[in-house]
Amino acid sequence: MTDGDATDSSSNASETAMPDEWSIPRIVRTMVPLLAALSVLQLVSGTVLEAYEAVLVQNPALLVLVPVQIGTAGNLASITCSRLTTQLYLGTYELDPSNPDLRANAGAVFALAATVFGAVGVAAWAIGAAFGGTLALGRVLLVSLISGMLLAVLVVVTSVAAVEISYRVGLNPDDTTIPVVTNVCDIAGVLILFAVVSVVV
Amino acid sequence: MVGHDTARDVYRQALPVILVSLVAGLFAGTILGSETMRAGISEVPGLLLLLPAFLATRGGVYGSLGARLSTGLHQGLIEPRFRLDRRLTNAIVASFINGMTVSVFIAVVTYLWLTLLGSGGNLLQLVGIMVVAGLLSAVLMISVLIVVIFVGYRRGLDPDNVIGPVVTTLGDVFGVFFLLVGIYVVGVVL
């Protein structure tokens, strides 16, 4: 399978003109440093999780919240970023609190966060209770909703900042914003969750 | 017109995708909160430390494989057939190498970080768990992605719209599950 990248590209005239985007070493060399750097960054949230190990093992409901928090943060961020970028290209985006598109995006993110994190709070409590957790429904719901809404604020702020900065610096926001903002929100999701946990629980 | 949606429009369009990832997250959370997993977390130092990095890597490796295959299909560089085409096999082999390299890297960095924190850890155990979990994820994610992208493409689905939810959903659910399998296998072997 891995044989003859060189022979293949020389036998195909159309590929000799430009670097072969489909060669294994090229893909690996591009991706591995990036992925390695991102995973070192993710150790920040790992360190937080590790620090709360005792609380997490004791309260399965909180453990259930972890992947949901991370996943939803990234999803809300990627939706917001791609919408803002499209609006930027269409010329309807403007960094102004009265901008109707900006308000619509922000409003939708808050409404989505309220829906999702309300449902997640109840579900995490039920699953946690089934695993023998003792945390009350009110507590789990409070943790889920407060951390979720704080996350929504962060998603909106970082997405707008990322789009604004990459536009001013002259980078294509389609390439830069989603990886940066989703990773930032993944990590911040865990940090916010445990900041709230340490206050509420 | 995407530029002039109201908050209500955006909410309606985004909710299904968010709910899919929510269900996936809850499944992953359920595995994570289970008795066996909690026992594993207590027994294996560093497991929670590497969890976010491990899950994020699934997205990075297989999301980019999906995006690459999708671009290749759109450009006509690869065909939606299950054949040993050079580009297709290269993309698959490369994503496999990426996934395994980064999984082992995460185990090593986690071990170093644990040593630095003075909490102690077992390098062989961490590497073993990541190799098993990384290998199983690679096999599952690559097979499912190719089937979904090719079958979807032949039926007129734009793979660009499918990859995101597929990778997030499967990556989270099976990532955590394979981590559990890894703990079990390494526990039996070591």
pLDDT at B109: 96
B112 and chain A: CB distance < 8 Å anywhere? Answer: no
Q: What domains does chain A contain, in order, with CATH numbers?
A: 1-41 (no CATH), 52-200 (1.10.357.20)
Length of chain A: 201
Task: With CB atoms and an 8 Å threshold, state whether A39 touches B33.
Answer: no
Query: What residues of B are in contact with residue A45 (Cβ under 8 Å)?
Result: 52
Exposed, middle or buried by CB within 10 Å (0-12, 13-18, 19+), for A111? middle
Q: How many angstroms separate the CA atoms of A12 and A61, rounded?
A: 57
B21 vs A46, A71, A103: nearest CB: A71
For chain A, report the end-to-end CA distance as a whole number of angstroms. 54
Residue A68 distance to chain B (closest CA, Å): 4
Q: What is the mean pLDDT of chain A?
A: 85
Q: How confident is the model at residue A11 (pLDDT cuts 50, 70, 90)?
A: very low
Length of chain B: 190
Task: With CB atoms and an 8 Å threshold, state whether B86 touches A100.
Answer: no
Amino acid at B130: M
ipTM reported for the complex, 2 dp: 0.85
Residues 105-164 (A) with a CB less than 8 A from some CB of B: 105-108, 111-112, 115-116, 119-120, 123-124, 127-128, 131-133
* Cα radius of gyration rounded to whole Å, chain A: 21
pLDDT at B3: 47
Most A-contacting residue of B15, B21, B113 (CB-CB within 10 A), to test interface: B21
| Residue A181 exposure: Cα atoms within 13 Å on the Cβ side | 35
Task: With CB atoms and an 8 Å threshold, state whether B25 touches A72.
Answer: yes
Contact B89, B142 (CB under 8 A): no
Q: Which residues, 6+ apart, have CB-to-CB distance to B164 below 8 Å?
A: A78, B17, B63
Q: How many angstroms separate the CA atoms of A84 and A167, rounded?
A: 11
Measured between CA atoms, the residue of chain B closest to residue A113 is: B18
Average pLDDT over residues A124-147: 94
Residue A169 distance to chain B (closest CA, Å): 23
- Positive or negative: CA dihedral B159, B163, B166, B171: positive
Cα A9 to Cα A12, B62, B79, B114, distances in angstroms: 5, 25, 18, 45
Contact A28, B97 (CB under 8 A): yes
Chain centre distance of CA B26: 16
Task: With CB atoms and an 8 Å threshold, state whether A101 touches B95.
Answer: no
Among candidates A169, A162, A165, which has minimal Cα distance to A184? Answer: A162
Question: Is the overall model pTM greater than 0.80, yes or no?
Answer: yes
Greatest mean pLDDT among A101-105, B139-143, B186-190 lies in B139-143
Average pLDDT over residues B77-106: 92
DSSP letters spanning B25-92: HHHHHHHHHSHHHHHHHHHSTTHHHHHHHHHHHHHHHHHHHHHHHHHHHHHTSS-SS-S--HHHHHHH
pLDDT, tens only, B150-184: 998 899 888 877 787 788 778 888 999 999 999 99
Domain B2-189 sits in CATH at 1.10.357.20
Q: How confident is the model at residue B4 (pLDDT cuts 50, 70, 90)?
A: low
pLDDT at A36: 92
Average pLDDT over residues B48-61: 89
